[in-house]
Chains A and B, each alone.
Chain A
Amino acid sequence: MNFTQSFRLALKSLSTSKMRSLLTMLGIIIGVAAVIIITSLGHGMQVYMNEEFESLGSNQVDAMILGDNDSSRHVDIEDMFALVERYPQYLSGVTPELRITAIVRHGADEFTRTEVEGVGETYYSVERNTTMEGEKLAKGRFLSYVDAQRQQSVCVVGAYLEREAFGGSALGKSLTLSGVPFTVVGVLDEYADVTEGSGDDVVYIPYTRAIRLSGTTSSEYLFSATSRETAPAAKGLVERELFKIFQDSDRYVVLTAAEMMDAMNTMLDLLMTILTLIAALSLLVGGIGIMNIMLVSVTERTREIGIRKSLGAKPKNIRWQFVIEAGTTSAIGGVLGIALGILAANLLTWILSMVLGSEDSFRAVPTLSGILVAFGVSVAIGVLFGYLPANKAAKLNPIDALRYE
């Protein structure tokens, strides 16, 4: 008796009680669908983040100064500019990024959660129309070199202030930061969900102006390497320069965008693995369900087993018959689960695009590897949990099985 015969026999036996077979498969169906949905979401997330990262500029190198920057050893902004000028083949620009605390007022309105950042003109790339954070300019212009040089009191506001403070016409109007008036020269596009404290609740001012306003100096510098390939070398240059200043490698951290992305991906992978394992738990439950039904089935079919044995079925024939039946049950459950999972992933993509309101935002894409693994695991679980009942059937004594009522 070979595999296809056993397989056909299994299909036959499953089709004689379709409802029961379906209920048996339910655990596997749900488990596989959950694994597919989670891996699709994870993969979609990864694709989304990587695309975002490409659009931000994969050539970014981020230097953070740790601890007190105002002691005897400190970074002079001019040194950083000089570094860029010295290595034009590796570095194409740098901007300080300094977050200051300032109360934002417009008329009688006060915005306490607005993030106020001092940056240079390099923070925004005209060719790509995007800031290093990924925001796009909607109206007006971004901060210029001259703004920084002359410490102009100008600012670029996010979509939240544009809407909440200015009712959609911020350009040319003014707001105050810690009592000092600033003129709005640019407005950013919607970037997050345009709520208070979100990524849209920001004000960018020239870094020179921010330094004067806060009395501190910048502790973060965003370099642009000439390309993605030169980013690691650029990182080395920045590190060497910072070491010259601090003589202590614990005082600063320099990361390329690629490294940040890798760190994010690693985190995401870990998260996905944990979630997938949790989803896989339901596969285990499904396997136990299969074992349960197979045990019942073996008991119900004791007489059939006896007849088969009297006609010359070997223990291994009987074992195969039941193992394949269990495997087939879970395989069919796996296929149904995959279909359900793909359907759910597409539905999720659709819902997310409705909620986020943009076409090309986030897509939950089922991965081939996710599908193959889910299918493989479900078959393996069926075979594994089918083995015990199958073995019980195989070991039945022929005459006892034949006499069973």
Chain B
Amino acid sequence: MEHLIEFRDIYKIYHMGDTDVHALDGVSLTVDQGEFVAIVGQSGSGKSTAMNIIGCLDVPTSGSYYLGGIDVSTMDDDQQAEIRNKMLGFIFQQYNLIAKLNVLENVELPLLYAGVSAEERHTRAVRALERVGLADKRKNLPSQLSGGQQQRVSIARALAGDPSVILADEPTGALDSRTGREVLAFLQQLNAEGNTVILITHDNSIAVKARRIVRLQDGRVIYDGPADDPRAVVQPEDREEAAV
């Protein structure tokens, strides 16, 4: 069976003056439909870079990325936009809501670009907001919500378009631990419903909830396996990181 996501020897190299930064240094990895994968690693190890490539927001310097069996580099801008719209749902650390649109309008955005009719947009967006328990805040502007509420809005937005893959880059990073656990529970529920979830996190207690952990270091995969393996969990650098 072909993999949902397949990285074949992916490099992402940034040229910074004289030096080259290998954000991704030959990463090969596969993710199948229905998996829950946590990507962990110290700061600067290339987690976000990998996630952005998975999300068709960025392109690798070399190597091939197959999404649903198709080489993404052969898709044009419109096709990639279509993939982001229909197949992928993003949850960002900084929520990335549009400040001048209200909660409902923010959640409707992916449906708007999918060409869904106004009525259906409304019902689907309200339903997504109900799932995250924020239907009553639909007329609020993002700035009138707490951080946790804003993150739930961004989850509702990711859900509204019914994507099969949820990409979450440190979704709990800006939240307190209780709210963070709520968000995580939500992602687990989505995974239980059959969605593929890829999660970036610093937090070991969160990472171990995933069924599989991919650990990056200096742009390379140093561990890829079950979450309950001792090698998957805490490394000294991560502790230092957490202390900072």
Contact = CB atoms under 8 A, between A and B. Distances in A.
B is a partner of A: yes
A322 to B, nearest CB: 15
B85 A13 contact: no
Given A1-B115, A13-B100, A398-B57, 6 more contacts: A308-B109, A309-B81, A310-B84, A311-B90, A315-B77, A398-B84
A308 B112 CA distance: 10
B152 to A, nearest CB: 17
Q: Chain A, interface size: which category? A: 20 to 34
Contacts of A16: 100
B82 A312 contact: yes
A312 B161 contact: yes
B78 interface: yes
B100 A313 contact: no
A314 B161 contact: no
A5 interface: yes
A309 B85 CA distance: 9
Contacts of B78: 314-316
A311 B84 CA distance: 6
26 contacts: A1-B112, A1-B115, A12-B100, A16-B100, A307-B97, A307-B98, A308-B98, A308-B109, A308-B113, A309-B57, A309-B84, A310-B96, A311-B90, A311-B113, A312-B81, A312-B84, A312-B86, A312-B110, A312-B114, A313-B81, A313-B113, A314-B82, A315-B77, A316-B78, A317-B113, A399-B58
A237 to B, nearest CB: 75
Interface in B94-133: 96-98, 100, 109-110, 112-115
A402 interface: yes
A304 interface: yes
Size range of the interface on B? 20 to 34
Interface of B: 52, 55-58, 77-78, 81-82, 84-86, 90, 96-98, 100, 109-110, 112-115, 157, 161
Contacts of A303: 96
* 6 closest A-B pairs by CB: A312-B85, A399-B58, A312-B113, A314-B81, A399-B57, A398-B57
Interface of A: 1, 5, 12-13, 16, 303-304, 306-317, 397-399, 402
A310 B90 contact: yes
Contacts of A1: 112-113, 115
Contacts of B85: 311-312
A12 B99 CA distance: 12
Contacts of B81: 309, 312-315, 317
B84 A304 contact: no
Contacts of A398: 56-58, 84
Nearest to A394: B77
Contacts of B96: 303, 306-307, 310, 402
Contact of A402 (B57, B86, B109, B161): B57
Contacts of B100: 12-13, 16
A310 B113 contact: no
Nearest to B97: A307
A67 to B, nearest CB: 77
A323 B1 CA distance: 45
B61 to A, nearest CB: 13
A396 to B, nearest CB: 11
Contacts of B114: 312
A5 B112 contact: yes
B94 to A, nearest CB: 9
Nearest to A13: B100
Contacts of A311: 84-85, 90, 109-110, 113, 157, 161
Contacts of B56: 398
A226 B176 CA distance: 101
Contacts of A5: 112
A16 B55 CA distance: 32
Contacts of B57: 309-310, 398-399, 402
A304 B90 CA distance: 15
